[in-house]
Structure 1
Amino acid sequence: MWIKIYSSLSRLSYKYADLIISLFEYNRRMQIELGAEDSKTLVIPNGIDVERFLSVKREKKKGFHIGLVGRVVPIKDIKTFIAMAKIVSGAIPEVQFYCIGPTDEDPAYYEDCKLLVNSFHLNDKFHFTGRQDVHKYYSFLDVLLLTSIREAQPLVLLEGFCSGVPAVATKVGNVPELLDYDERFLAPSKDAEKLAEGVEYIYKNPEIMKNIVVRNREKVLKFYDRRKVYKTYYNIYKSLAEGEKWQV
């Protein structure tokens, strides 16, 4: 029932809108399917403070370090991160895992995650850091992991790319587009084994990853610099306020 109501409201909104903005291309196509006119639609992604993350100074620490930046809540699927850690810990020596983010939003889920870490005998390898300055971790992480069940356009991937950290992630929201639809680094939700394969590929192919890291950073600078995003919105609002057709 609620889906029908939502669809009806969407069609009504689209009819009278001058412009319909989506965060990424897949959502734009969905809005067209829901009744939006193609000519009214436009993709404007979220952006990040690129200067802040370009300033991260990379340092090589002993071992191999995998991190997930996010809240310890079910939608981030930290349990799949832990399951992946169990697989990877048997394949990569001196590996360490970091769950970087607040642990107090769902205390029961956090306790379940700690029990899972203990049951897999990962207590000396898996670390819940709590809320932290991510700069510190982006400086030495070898892989940024994202295991979310749902996302739109995850900014943590953009931050990691800009900081020089490659990623392995689930196929949610705009993630496939951010990772260039490269199946080496993409996995279905809850697929710990496929995520582990991506991590192990990065570990085994450091020379190949150098080019990918450069490509990822260039993409962020070109498309996801928040200054460019702000300018795009400014131009749109200015043209509409002046009674013109929207312009970017």
Structure 2
Amino acid sequence: MKIGITCYPTYGGSGAIATELGIELAQRGHEIHFISYAQPFRLPHFMERVYFHEVETTRYPLFEHNNYSLSLAAMMHEVAIRAKLDLLHVHYAIPHATSAWIAREMLGDRYPLKIVTTLHGTDITLVGQERSYFDITRFSIQKSDGITAVSDYLKRETVDRFDVRADSIEVIHNFVEPRLYDRSAYKCHKDAFLPPGEMLVMHVSNFRPVKRIADVVRIFARIHKQVPSKLVFVGDGPERPVATAEADALGITDRVIFLGKQDSVAELLACADLLLLPSASESFGLVALEAMAAGVPVVATRAGGIPEVVEEDVTGHMGDVGDVETMADAAVSILADDRTWVRMSNAARQIAVERFGADVIVPQYERYYERVIAGDASAPAEPQLAAGGDD
């Protein structure tokens, strides 16, 4: 198949999954065309059967604001014709599914281009529910030939909030490449962060408010009182000052390390003893899966799609949102007992490989593409005329 993929190329779960999917599909013999404003950050400089098409926005005085959506549609249209694409796979409903629909309308009946839209989370739970975006988000979803969601939780949210038929959405979970996250493949760099005998607790995110960064610090402060350890933050974002202020207030500034954005997350996870993910909500919890693939137990909130990834008392523990004490106690129970840590580490790696490995998930996308191209995927419901956002 010849497949066009559009995603946000910057740091984030959707861009990472979209890029890894394209790489995996290319290795399986498909021709992949990435269409975006920048090369995806996880895309190597060259790969066989992988092409990148940069979208440039026109600088014209008439357009006071960025016209990326139209430029993207124009590039999708051009690539579809030149590369003879069978399908466009877009990640995030807006603006990507909207631009894909425009490109298909431009092609007309002479070129039966199919569109698959993958919903990742904030396009449904945050952006799409803004009143000004609600109707166009629903329209773009329902005009797709195929819709996938990365978790059962996200499917339910989409059905409930956007009046989309349940049988029109296929749940295909996020995945990992097991070899990339094999901790035995990396030299341990723990001595760069902490002395022998201490534990390394890690948090990886984009530091948005939904990640509850202050809770990460509060949980760790309680952990450190019972288990000598350090907290390593990977990533960056608007809530970083909150983390530094909380660490200072709790008197643990010397126990907290900020590494900023890092490309080699797998190598860093290979050093970790525990991942903290106390988010208010997660559509899936990709970083939890990546940690599990590296054999790292996870302590997280029982929120959104996380329970579909983390198995209670098997690969880690979960607590209610904001329940810092329960999550800290759970973390200590793992870190203070070698046998518990080894049991959970082994189970985490096994489940990540057997349930969420690329060899398991990518073929699901291939089969779904074939159904969409053949017209066998369930047809999305037609848009309703109710006022935007009023359920």
Query: TM-score surpassing 0.5?
Result: yes
Which residue of 191, 201, 211 corresponds with 2:343? 211
Q: Distance in 1 between matches of 2:260 and 2:222?
A: 24
Cα deviations across residues 64-114 of structure 1 (Å, max 9, x unaligned)?
Answer: 11110113332222111111122122121x211111112xx32xx433322
What is the identity, as a one-letter code, of the residue corresponding to 1:236?
Y
Give SS of 1:186's match. strand
TM-score (ref. length: structure 1)? 0.81
- Identity percentage of aligned residues: 19
Note if 1:127 corresponds to 2:257: yes
Give SS of 1:124's match. helix
Give SS of 1:28's match. helix
Indicate the residue corresponding to 1:80 in structure 2.
215
Q: Go from structure 1 to structure 2 and tell me whether the alpha carbon gap of 1:123 and 1:31 turns closer, same or farther (over 3 Å shift).
A: closer
Shift of 1:17: 6.5
What are the residue-to-residue correspondences of 1:55-134 with 2, within 5 Å?
56-57=185-186, 59=188, 61-92=196-227, 94-102=228-236, 105-106=237-238, 109-132=239-262, 133-134=264-265
What are the residue-to-residue correspondences of 1:127-206 with 2, within 5 Å?
127-132=257-262, 133-182=264-313, 185-206=317-338
Q: Distance in 2 between matches of 1:48 and 1:168?
A: 19
TM-score (ref. length: structure 2)? 0.54
More helix by percentage: 1
Question: Between Structure 1 and Structure 2, whose CA radius of gyration is higher?
Answer: 2
Shift of 1:52: 0.7
Give SS of 1:113's match. helix
Shift of 1:134: 2.1
Q: Go from structure 1 to structure 2 and tell me whether the alpha carbon gap of 1:37 and 1:134 turns closer, same or farther (over 3 Å shift).
A: closer
Shift of 1:45: 0.9
Indicate the residue corresponding to 1:54 in structure 2.
182
Q: Go from structure 1 to structure 2 and tell me whether the alpha carbon gap of 1:215 and 1:77 turns closer, same or farther (over 3 Å shift).
A: same
Q: Distance in 2 between matches of 1:187 and 1:113?
A: 20
Cα deviations across residues 159-213 of structure 1 (Å, max 9, x unaligned)?
Answer: 1111111010112221122112459711222222122011111023321332332
Give SS of 1:85's match. helix
Task: Tell me if the contact between 2:182 and 2:270 (Cα under 8 Å) persists in the aligned partners.
Answer: no
Unaligned runs of 5+ in 2: 1-128, 191-195, 379-391
Task: Tell me if the contact between 2:288 and 2:310 (Cα under 8 Å) persists in the aligned partners.
Answer: no
Task: Tell me if the contact between 1:176 and 1:182 (Cα under 8 Å) persists in the aligned partners.
Answer: no
Shift of 1:32: 4.6
Task: Tell me if the contact between 2:266 and 2:290 (Cα under 8 Å) persists in the aligned partners.
Answer: no
Unaligned runs of 5+ in 1: none
Task: Tell me if the contact between 2:203 and 2:233 (Cα under 8 Å) persists in the aligned partners.
Answer: yes
Q: Go from structure 1 to structure 2 and tell me whether the alpha carbon gap of 1:58 and 1:186 turns closer, same or farther (over 3 Å shift).
A: farther
Q: Go from structure 1 to structure 2 and tell me whether the alpha carbon gap of 1:2 and 1:123 turns closer, same or farther (over 3 Å shift).
A: closer
Which deviates the most, 118-127 or 57-66? Answer: 57-66
Give SS of 2:259's match. strand
Indicate the residue corresponding to 2:57 in structure 1.
none
What is the identity, as a one-letter code, of the residue corresponding to 1:80?
D
Q: Go from structure 1 to structure 2 and tell me whether the alpha carbon gap of 1:51 and 1:75 turns closer, same or farther (over 3 Å shift).
A: same
Indicate the residue corresponding to 1:230 in structure 2.
362
Q: CA RMSD in A?
A: 3.1
Higher-RCO chain (CA-CA 8 Å, sequence separation at least 6): 1
Task: Tell me if the contact between 2:177 and 2:357 (Cα under 8 Å) persists in the aligned partners.
Answer: yes
Q: Go from structure 1 to structure 2 and tell me whether the alpha carbon gap of 1:202 and 1:144 turns closer, same or farther (over 3 Å shift).
A: same
Q: Distance in 2 between matches of 1:42 and 1:223?
A: 17
Q: Distance in 1 between matches of 2:158 and 2:260?
A: 37
